[in-house]
Structure 1
Amino acid sequence: MAVNSATKLQAIEIAKGYLQLRGFNGFSFQDIADELGIRKASLHYYFASKEDLGLALIEDYTHSFQEWAKKHEELEPVEKIKKFIDMYYFFSQDDLKVCPGGVFCIDYNTLPTKLKKAVSDFQQNTQDWLEETIRQGIKSKTLKPTLKPKETAALFYSTAQGSLQVARMQNNPKVMKNTCLSLLSLLEK
């Protein structure tokens, strides 16, 4: 059977929706196959295992984040952080989905080793971007000079992740955005 890349891309998109609503352990190959209208065994032509599907999801999310960061690289640091908040807010507005990094974190202890590593790398890359953006903000004097970039990046990232969870529980996407904007206002000079 020839591998149809359109079907593979559709499977990834369907898996993204399930992942962000149910978690990695909350959906199966059968769920994806049913939505695609194909046999479950046919998915194995695209992904040898669910771990391979998870790795494909992380690769897709990583590529999307890199493209997003590139698109916003010319903005001032505070504006970049606001765009970051908007990106997370978009997740919460879309059926109260949560960030892929946060979803994988919830299931982290049950993930296979290669997938754990990919998830850790994905989250680290996001925090590295935040850290560099915070450094730029300190240098441009738009963020407080006393901030520790690495620790502040971890604080901001964890606040974004956590506020998505709270927004979901309260059925109110604005909780996420307001929480992160409040934190940003505390960091600004």
Structure 2
Amino acid sequence: MNKKSQILKLAENKVRSGGYGNFSFRELADEIGIKSSSVHYYFRTKADLGAALAHQYVDDFLALLNAEKAKLKGRSAINLYINAFKTALEKDNQMCLCGLLGAQSDALPEQVNIEIKRFFELNINWLQAVYIDEKGLAVDIAKTKAIQLLATLEGMMILAKVLDDTSAFDSLNDYINEDI
């Protein structure tokens, strides 16, 4: 893993475990074993790093969803989407990066907020397309369902984290599928 990738991965872990203010360039440099100026070589400012981090997170999340969706045979992409959130909590015990940053958006640089908005817009579009393709819903109803599911999952992540219990995700698949 190159230095830039190491910086992004470490910054992601720090943000997902404690928010945007949970790291400094000096801390990242010390943990990786490089000089702080080396972090600045890749990311001029913390806002640049935050934007790059969110951008990469969005791209990686959607690439994973699309790769898994391509493998589906008769299973719902909605269930795949729900399980992506549950797996993130179970595997990493961390919140969705853009959901966490979204809660802090009033205090974040504009370029970071642009990437957070991109996450939500692309995820709503992805879900909307699934609701149209799989359930045959009209465009406006599919968009409403997509927004509702995304909001539900972000909220469930908070509850699961606070209550230290991801079991609510297990019943969500049935609830979502009955609700349509």
1:161 lines up with 2:158 in the alignment = no
Q: Partner letter of residue 144 of structure 2?
A: E
Q: 1:67 aligns with which of 51, 63, 68?
A: 63
1:61 Cα deviation after fit: 1.3
Cα 1:184–1:23 change in 2 (3 A) is: same
1:42 lines up with 2:24 in the alignment = no
Alignment of 1:1-189 (within 5 A): 6-74=2-70, 75=72, 79-139=76-136, 148-175=141-168, 177-178=169-170, 180-188=172-180
State the alpha-carbon separation in 2 of the partners of residues 58 and 169 from structure 1.
23
Q: Partner letter of residue 89 of structure 1?
A: K
Question: Relative to total residues, which structure has the larger helix share, 1 or 2?
Answer: 2
State the alpha-carbon separation in 2 of the partners of residues 27 and 166 from structure 1.
25
Which segments of 5 or more consecutive residues in structure 2 lack a partner in the other structure? none
CA contact (8 A) 2:16 2:96 kept: yes
How much is the aligned-residue C-alpha RMSD, in angstroms? 2.2
Identity rate of aligned residues, in percent? 23
SS of 1:38's equivalent in the other structure is: coil
State the alpha-carbon separation in 1 of the partners of residues 102 and 128 from structure 2.
20
Kindly tell me the number of residue pairs found equivalent between the two proteins.
178
State the alpha-carbon separation in 2 of the partners of residues 158 and 70 from structure 1.
20
Q: Partner letter of residue 160 of structure 2?
A: A
The TM-score with structure 2 as length reference comes to 0.88
Cα 1:150–1:168 change in 2 (3 A) is: same
- Following TM superposition, where does structure 1 have runs of at least 4 consecutive aligned residues deviating by more than 6 angstroms? none
The TM-score with structure 1 as length reference comes to 0.84
Deviations 1:49-91 (A, max 9, x none): 1111111112211221232233134436862111111211121
Cα 1:134–1:30 change in 2 (3 A) is: same
1:7 Cα deviation after fit: 0.5
State the alpha-carbon separation in 2 of the partners of residues 94 and 79 from structure 1.
22
Q: Partner letter of residue 105 of structure 1?
A: G
State the alpha-carbon separation in 2 of the partners of residues 14 and 77 from structure 1.
37
State the alpha-carbon separation in 2 of the partners of residues 185 and 70 from structure 1.
20
